[in-house]
């Protein structure tokens, strides 16, 4: 019960990495708010946690919308007060394109969810945690290995995840210097078996060859599981990481070590 007596907000909690984090956090004793636009899947994630004896509920959230975040914080306050953990996981990978092909509209669509969503998640995450007084808490931003290295064909996605990485460091310093006792860290997943990666592969005529190429380029020789990211998030959410802030945790099977 590493998260006993803590309340966690997890955006993009209805599927993939977000769903794995919600499940693990609930199993470790947290009260989990599954925040997502997908009500059917989000409710299913919360219901699954409850059937295992955990505490979880669904809240509809558009991470790129200021008013949607304010409504979520009002709901948190009405249901018990403050959050202790905020995981900014929601994100999109498409539309893709290189810097010449990418349209401004597509660039803005990716940035709106990935960068604006992370900014609002940190901004209102700080407010939600501070509502609990001096207890402090943890904000975890899910970036990507493409927030660390470049990619020729994912211009907007790479830029957005790079923004998440440095937003994390800026917010970590701000919280530390302000005496908030709020730690802010990022996780950088490699290729993980999620609906986002599966969608990426389905869009390619050479899907099987592309999957084999990804596995061959990963030193450990296979794609990661959503739980691999959830375990890193669990550490950062727990009091075990009390001296960790502004850090970036890479979970990629060795991909960026090359």
Of 124, 157, 231, 255, which is the active-site residue? Answer: 157
SS3 4: coil
Question: Rounded CA gap, 6 and 135, in Å?
Answer: 11
CA-CA distances (angstroms) from residue 55 to 30, 140, 160, 177, 212? 7, 20, 32, 34, 39
DSSP strands (E only) in the chain: 7-11, 31-36, 55-60, 85-88, 137-142, 182-189, 248-251
Q: Which residues does 101 contact at the CB level (< 8 Å), separation at least 6?
A: 155
Q: CA torsion 160→162→163→165, rounded to 10°?
A: 130
DSSP, residue by residue, 189-233: E-SBSSHHHHHHHHTSTTHHHHHHHHHHHSTTSS-B-HHHHHHHH
Distance of CA 20 to the CA centre of its chain: 11
Nearest to 142 by CA among 109, 85, 189, 110: 189
Catalytic residue flag (residue 124): no
Question: Rounded CA gap, 165 and 149, in Å?
Answer: 12
Phi, psi of 41 (to 5 degrees): -70, -35
Active site residues: 157
């Amino acid at each position: 019960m590493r998260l006993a007596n803590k309340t966690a907000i997890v955006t993009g909690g209805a599927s993939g990495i977000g769903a794995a984090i919600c499940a693990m956090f609930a199993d470790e004793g947290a009260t989990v708010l599954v925040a997502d636009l997908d009500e059917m899947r989000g409710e299913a994630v919360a219901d699954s946690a409850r059937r295992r004896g955990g505490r979880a509920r669904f809240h509809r959230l558009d991470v790129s919308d200021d008013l949607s975040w304010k409504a979520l914080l009002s709901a948190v306050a009405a249901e018990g007060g403050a959050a202790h953990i905020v995981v900014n996981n929601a994100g999109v990978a498409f539309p893709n394109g290189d810097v010449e092909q990418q349209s401004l509209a597509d660039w803005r669509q990716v940035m709106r969810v990935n960068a604006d969503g992370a900014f609002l998640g940190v901004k209102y995450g700080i407010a939600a945690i501070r509502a609990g007084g001096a207890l402090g808490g943890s904000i975890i931003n899910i970036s990507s290995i493409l927030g660390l290295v470049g990619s020729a064909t994912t211009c907007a996605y790479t830029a957005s995840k790079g923004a998440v990485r440095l937003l994390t460091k800026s917010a970590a310093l701000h919280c530390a210097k302000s005496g908030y006792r709020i730690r802010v860290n990022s996780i950088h997943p490699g290729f993980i078996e999620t609906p986002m990666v599966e969608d990426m592969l389905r869009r390619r005529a050479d899907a099987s060859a592309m999957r084999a190429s990804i596995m061959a380029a990963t030193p450990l020789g296979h794609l990661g599981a959503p739980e691999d990211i959830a375990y890193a998030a669990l550490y950062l959410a727990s009091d075990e990481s009390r001296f960790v802030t502004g850090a970036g945790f890479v979970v990629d099977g060795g991909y960026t070590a090359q």
